[in-house]
Amino acid sequence: MGGASSSQSRIVKAQGHLTPGHLAVTLGVLAALALAALVFAVATGSTEVSLQESLVALAGGGEALSRTLILELRLPRALAAFATGGLLAVAGALMQVLLRNPLADPYVLGLSGGAAVGALLAMLAGLGSALISGSAFAGALTATLLVFGLAHGTGSWTPSRLLLTGVVVASGWGAVITLILSLSPARQLPGMLYWLMGDLAHARAPGAALGLLALVCLLVVPLGRSLNVLARGGLQAAALGVAVRRLEWLIYLLASLVTAVAVTTAGSIGFVGLVVPHMLRLVLGNDQRLILPACALAGGTLLVLADTLARTIIAPEQLPVGVITALLGVPTFLYLLHRSR
Amino acid sequence: MFPRLPVMLGVLLAVLFGLVGRVLADEVCAIDDGGREVCLAAPAQRIASLSPGATELLFASGAGDRLVAVVDHSDFPPEAVKLPSVGSHDRLDLERLVTLQPDLVIAWVTGNPAEQVERLERLGVPVFRIEPRDFEGIATALERLARLAGSEAQGRQAAERFRQGLAELAARHADAPPVPVFYQVWDSPLMTVNDEHLIGKVVTLCGGVNVFGDLSRLVPRIGEEALLAADPEVLLAGGRGEENRSWLDYWRRYPDLTAVARDNLFFVPPSLLQRPTPRLLEGSRLLCEKLEVARGRR
């Protein structure tokens, strides 16, 4: 075993030196960017509130109106955007390691489909917003357990088998979503479509999502070394003494829980979970100990910026946040890809 | 020791009761379409309307001058166009709405996002939800909104005019020979209304028989074949915009349809029928006239 773990650390070293100093500086810079994005989000809106007034309101002072705008409307929404973006990016990074597939994202195994079916059924039944969230969460967990059960039940298990199971189940969910949409009263369609596009206007108290984001970061960092090995292939990881099957299921369940909370908070926002991990890998290299916490910060920052623009660009009209995430993310990603050649 | 104490107490009590009485006299209450009673300490001065229909109802009930915010497509009466918009009815800019500091928000039960309306309530803004589903619902909405806005006389008048107009139409067509009618809400997918829908009720009022009236959904999506099989005597359509007749011309490819053979293809401006407002009376008159024309072509 000793030999295995020393060769494991050799491999990790070969991927590039990650010193504590490097880690701290990178994460420090990303955290500063995240904070700047949050301040920008809180100070920007369809109503003019100066930066100074915003900060005064954040501290609990100032006029009642600006306090309401900042503390009741903008801050909870910005924090919800940050948590959602961070969770999706972390889940995407985990899924890409788990499935060894660069196209994997948090939704690839049908989790968002299950959540959407739950949410749309609740909307169809005319339930309140709290029950819609609850129903979405239940749908996400159902989807997770369904894929887990189907892929687990078979004797031989490989990531590609999990991927195929998940993708097929996801198409099944897609069909159910289309069925619900076509049977729903016309008046409910806009709300349903906005949910499917992802919309932070519905985001409720961000506390739980933020807490989970912090918890997941603490949880996955100790796993980073094993994830690094796993990313290079299951056989190699097993040879190096990693309990592959257990680690893979742990990643799967963790990523699913994280995605379920994100989707419950703001609907199925696309793009962040797929592209943010890739962007960071292009810039920072592929060391999971750095990539995972960096995903939490960068994913959150991207979604905060995108949501701020979505609610202000053509105010009072409100755009779906997914439009802006893609418009900001696609050129950035292509630039990084081009530069890395 | 204090011989005048009872007198003073009496005066004090009288003053207090007077004050309470004044406060209570200013308080206005109404029951919304969510079944909840909404009370304001005084008639609303700054009203926000979250649907084009509510905007029309507010103007009709004499509260138009107290409107401070509307949503997109609030195009009637023309004064409404000049009011500041707070986004579309299904995606509100809450920030802009809160900044306008309304003391009463008129929400739309199924049209506005429930979460956003609930958040407004949590911020302490009184919300009155409306969604008239029949003629009487429109009339009482006029009265209830007028009560909250302190323009009761005007509201009652508007409601009476509306009730009376409809009663006249009903009396005139009570014994008219029935006409099988198809009302087209949309062309692709092909959509119509059932008898529960306000438009369905107008068809019935005018002595028409909605060929898809028994379907269970309020706005059913149907197939072209079903329409051909139902063979209505009259085809009515709204359309995109106010002057688009292309939907009706489409049906001319089926010359064997009774409605086409008799040229009973009629256009009714959708804004007169598709909003639950007093203008529905005007739309109803038009629709009844069309059915009269069809009866004349038998």
Tokens 């494991």 locate to A8
Q: Do B221 and A69 touch (CB under 8 A)?
A: no
Average pLDDT of the segment spanning A173-202: 87
Q: Is B184 helix (H, G, I), strand (E, B) or coil?
A: strand
Mutate to test the interface with A, among B68, B85, B101, B115 (most CBs of A within 10 A): B115
Does the pLDDT at position A16 exceed 80?
no
Strands, E, within chain B: which ranges?
A: 28-31, 37-40, 47-49, 67-69, 87-88, 91-92, 104-108, 127-130, 179-184, 208-210, 234-237, 265-267
A157/A90: higher pLDDT: A90
Fold match, B27-160 / B176-296: yes
Q: How many CB atoms lie within 10 A of CB A129?
A: 18
CATH 3.20.20.140 for domain B27-160: no
Does the pLDDT at position A3 exceed 70?
no
Q: Is B279 helix (H, G, I), strand (E, B) or coil?
A: helix
Selection from B257, B253, B242 nearest residue B182 by Cα? B257
Average pLDDT, chain A: 86
Give the least confident one: A81-85, A319-323, B9-13, B127-131: B9-13
Q: Is B104 helix (H, G, I), strand (E, B) or coil?
A: strand
Contact with chain B for residue A315, Cβ under 8 A: yes
Question: Rounded to whole angstroms, what are the CA distances from A243 to A21, A121, A155, A333?
Answer: 30, 40, 17, 34
Predicted-complex ipTM score: 0.74
* A72 vs A64: CA distance, rounded Å: 11
Contact with chain B for residue A50, Cβ under 8 A: no
Between strands B127-130 and B104-108, the pairing is: parallel
Mutate to test the interface with B, among A44, A311, A314 (most CBs of B within 10 A): A311
Residue spans of the domains in chain B: they are 27-160, 176-296
pLDDT attached to residue B25? 64
Question: Rounded to whole angstroms, what are the CA distances from B295 to B133, B255, B263, B281?
Answer: 29, 19, 12, 21
Q: Do B115 and A129 touch (CB under 8 A)?
A: yes
Of B90, B94, B123, the CB nearest to A190: B90
pLDDT attached to residue A61? 83
pLDDT attached to residue A10? 43
Q: Return phi, psi of residue A315, to 5°.
A: -55, 145
Selection from B134, B139, B209, B206 nearest residue B169 by Cα? B206
> b/e string for B187-225 if b means 16 or more Cβ within 10 A?
eeebbbbbbebbbbbbbbbbbbebbbbebebbbbebeee
Closest residue on chain A to B122 (Cα): A72
Cβ neighbours of B118 in A, within 8 Å = 128-129
Average pLDDT of the segment spanning A121-146: 88
Query: pLDDT tens across B135-159, in order?
Result: 999 999 999 999 999 999 999 999 9
Q: pLDDT-derived band of residue A336, with 50, 70 and 90 as boundaries?
A: confident
User: Which structure tokens are listed for B128?
Assistant: 């009155």
In DSSP notation, B186-230 reads: BTTTTB---TTSHHHHHHHHTTEEETTTT-SSSS-B--HHHHHHH
| Residue B135 CB partners (closer than 8 Å, separation 6+) | B162, B163, B166, B198, B201, B280
Q: Do B98 and A73 touch (CB under 8 A)?
A: yes
pLDDT attached to residue A222? 85
Task: Please give the model's pTM, rounded to 2 decimal places.
Answer: 0.82
Cβ neighbours of B99 in A, within 8 Å = 46-47, 65, 69
Of B92, B95, B191, the CB nearest to A45: B95
Q: Return phi, psi of residue A126, to 5°.
A: 75, 30
Cβ neighbours of A316 in B, within 8 Å = 85-87, 92-93, 96
| Residue B33 CB partners (closer than 8 Å, separation 6+) | B109, B129, B130, B131, B132, B137, B141
H/E stretch holding B137 reads helix B135-149
Average pLDDT of the segment spanning A297-306: 95
Does the pLDDT at position B241 exceed 70?
no
Between strands B67-69 and B87-88, the pairing is: unpaired
Does the pLDDT at position A246 exceed 90?
no
Sorted by where each starts, the structural domains of chain A and their CATH numbers stand as 2-339 (1.10.3470.10)
Q: Do A65 and B98 touch (CB under 8 A)?
A: yes
For chain A, how many residues are written?
Answer: 341
Q: Which of residues 152-211 of B touch A (CB under 8 A)?
A: 191
Cβ neighbours of B112 in A, within 8 Å = none
* A129 vs A123: CA distance, rounded Å: 8
pLDDT attached to residue B58? 97
Q: How far is CA A267 from the centre of its chain?
A: 11
Between strands B37-40 and B28-31, the pairing is: antiparallel
Q: Which CATH number fits domain B176-296: 3.40.630.30, 3.30.230.10, 3.40.140.10, 3.40.50.1980?
A: 3.40.50.1980
Does the pLDDT at position B16 exceed 60?
no
Query: pLDDT tens across A30-54, in order?
Result: 999 999 999 999 999 888 888 888 8
Give the least confident one: B16-30, B62-76, B185-199: B16-30
pLDDT attached to residue B202? 96
CB pairs under 8 A between A and B: 81
Give the least confident one: A92-101, A197-206, B107-116, B210-219: A197-206
Cβ neighbours of B95 in A, within 8 Å = 45-47, 69, 73-74, 311, 315
Selection from A87, A106, A41, A73 nearest residue A310 by Cα? A41
**Counts of helices then strands in chain A (DSSP H, E):** 16, 0
Amino acid (1-letter code) at residue B135: F
* B58 vs B39: CA distance, rounded Å: 17
Q: Which of residues 21-80 of B touch A (CB under 8 A)?
A: 72
Query: pLDDT tens across B259-269, in order?
Result: 999 999 999 98
B190/B44: higher pLDDT: B44
Q: Do A65 and B99 touch (CB under 8 A)?
A: yes
Q: How far is B86 from chain A (nearest CA, A)?
A: 5
Contact with chain B for residue A77, Cβ under 8 A: no
Query: pLDDT tens across A152-162, in order?
Result: 765 666 788 88
Give the least confident one: A10-19, A91-100, B253-262, B285-294: A10-19
Mutate to test the interface with A, among B50, B89, B93, B103 (most CBs of A within 10 A): B93
Question: Rounded to whole angstroms, what are the CA distances from B137 to B33, B49, B80, B130, B216?
Answer: 9, 18, 23, 9, 21
Whether cis (ω within 30° of 0) applies to the bond prior to A190 is no
Q: How far is A89 from chain B (nearest CA, A)?
A: 26
Cβ neighbours of A188 in B, within 8 Å = 110
Closest residue on chain B to A68 (Cα): B123
Average pLDDT of the segment spanning A208-229: 90
Q: pLDDT-derived band of residue B244, with 50, 70 and 90 as boundaries?
A: low
Q: Do A187 and B101 touch (CB under 8 A)?
A: no
Selection from B218, B194, B215 nearest residue B204 by Cα? B194
pLDDT attached to residue B7? 62
pLDDT attached to residue A320? 84
Does the pLDDT at position B23 exceed 80?
no
Q: Do B96 and A190 touch (CB under 8 A)?
A: no
* A272 vs A278: CA distance, rounded Å: 10
Contact with chain B for residue A134, Cβ under 8 A: no
pLDDT attached to residue B226? 92
Q: How far is A78 from chain B (nearest CA, A)?
A: 14
pLDDT attached to residue B4? 63
Mutate to test the interface with A, among B46, B72, B89, B94 (most CBs of A within 10 A): B94
